[in-house]
Amino acid sequence: MNQLSYTYDPAHPVMTLGGNNLNLEAGPRDQRPVDGRPDVLGFVSQPLSEPLRMEGYGRGLLYVSSDQPDTDFTLKLIDVYPDGREILVVDGLQRARFRYGYLPGQISWLHPGVIDTLSISLPPTALVFSTGHRIKIALSSSNYPRFELNRNNDLDPNDRSQARIAVNTIHFGGTWRSRIELPVVRSASGVAQTTERLQTFTLLPAFPNPFNSSVRLDYRLTHPARVQAAVYTMTGEKVCTLVQARQNGGEHWLGWSGENERAVSMPSGVYLIRLQVDDQVRTQKVTLVR
Cβ-proximal residues to 252 (8 Å cutoff; 6+ apart), any chain: 218, 219, 220, 221, 227
User: How many Cβ atoms from other residues are within 10 Å of residue 150's Cβ?
Assistant: 25
Q: What is the Cα–Cα distance from 250 to 69, expressed in whole angstroms? A: 37
Number of domains into which the chain is organized:
2
**Of 156, 185, 214, which residue is a domain's last?**
185
- The mean pLDDT of 101-107, rounded to a whole number, is 81
> Do residues 133 and 210 share a domain?
no
Can you give the CATH number for the domain in which 260 is found? 2.60.40.4070
The reply to whether 194 falls in a domain is no
> Do residues 57 and 135 share a domain?
yes
> Do residues 74 and 152 share a domain?
yes
> Do residues 164 and 24 share a domain?
yes
The reply to whether 191 falls in a domain is no
> Do residues 11 and 88 share a domain?
yes
Averaged pLDDT of the chain: 90
pLDDT in tens, 231-256: 999 888 899 999 999 998 888 999 99
Can you give the CATH number for the domain in which 111 is found? 2.60.120.260
pLDDT in tens, 186-237: 765 454 454 445 567 888 888 888 888 899 999 888 888 899 999 999 888 8
Q: Does residue 176 surpass a pLDDT of 80?
A: yes
Cβ-proximal residues to 5 (8 Å cutoff; 6+ apart), any chain: 167, 168, 169, 170
> Do residues 278 and 164 share a domain?
no
The reply to whether 7 falls in a domain is yes
The reply to whether 193 falls in a domain is no
Domain boundaries, position 77: 3-185
Overall pTM > 0.75: no
> Do residues 168 and 211 share a domain?
no
The reply to whether 111 falls in a domain is yes
286 vs 7, 64, 208, 283, CA distance in Å?
29, 18, 9, 10
- The mean pLDDT of 89-99, rounded to a whole number, is 95
> Do residues 168 and 45 share a domain?
yes
**Residue 225's beta-bridge partner residues?**
247
Give me the phi and psi of 105, to 5 degrees please: -75, -10
> Do residues 114 and 49 share a domain?
yes
Q: What is the Cα–Cα distance from 281 to 268, expressed in whole angstroms? A: 25
> Do residues 160 and 45 share a domain?
yes
The reply to whether 254 falls in a domain is yes
The reply to whether 70 falls in a domain is yes
**Of 185, 209, 228, which residue is a domain's last?**
185
- The mean pLDDT of 60-64, rounded to a whole number, is 94
> Do residues 35 and 109 share a domain?
yes
Q: What is the Cα–Cα distance from 208 to 228, expressed in whole angstroms? A: 21
> Do residues 56 and 134 share a domain?
yes
Give me the phi and psi of 170, to 5 degrees please: -105, 130
